[in-house]
Each structure stands twice: as C-alpha cells, then as structure tokens.
Amino acid sequence: MEVLKIEILNPKAKKLLKALVELKLISIREKTGPEISLEKLLTRLRDNSAPGPDEIAMDVEAIRHTSNLPING
C-alpha cells in the first residue's frame, strides 16, 4: 500500500476520487484533531518561529485531551 498527499485543485477531481472510493480502488482518510495540531506545531518549528515553553505545554495538553492519552505526573 502506498500513501499519497493530494491537493485537489479542481472540484471535478473530488468527484473522480469519490468514484474510485465507490469502486473500492482507493480509500480516503481525513486528518484527525491531534494530527492537525501536531502538523501545525511542526510547521512552526520548521519556520524557526519556535513557541515558548508555555505554548508547547498548551499544545501538548490539547493533543492529550483530544487523543485521550493518559496524563502522568
């Protein structure tokens, strides 16, 4: 299985993708909350605009809350 990231530039392409899903040739999975939050954090870090300790703690708590991870400590 191969995973690809696709940007839809034309609304007609979305119809084609839905047709492929109906034919069971592909599956489409949308990003969940923690994935989006982590992606935003990584993007900020890569842009050299690293958040401070308080902002990192808030991001970690948000991800823990949405993914139901146990909190140690």
pLDDT for residue 71: 61
Tens place of pLDDT for every residue, the chain, 73 residues?
787 888 889 999 999 999 999 999 999 887 666 667 777 777 777 776 667 888 888 888 888 877 765 666 5
Residue 61, SS3? Answer: helix
DSSP string computed for 7-57 = ---SHHHHHHHHHHHHTTS----PPPHHHHHHHHHHHHHHTT-PPPHHHHH
Which CB contacts under 8 angstroms, 24+ apart, belong to 37-41? 37/62, 37/63, 37/66, 38/63
- Locate the domains of the chain by residue range: 30-73
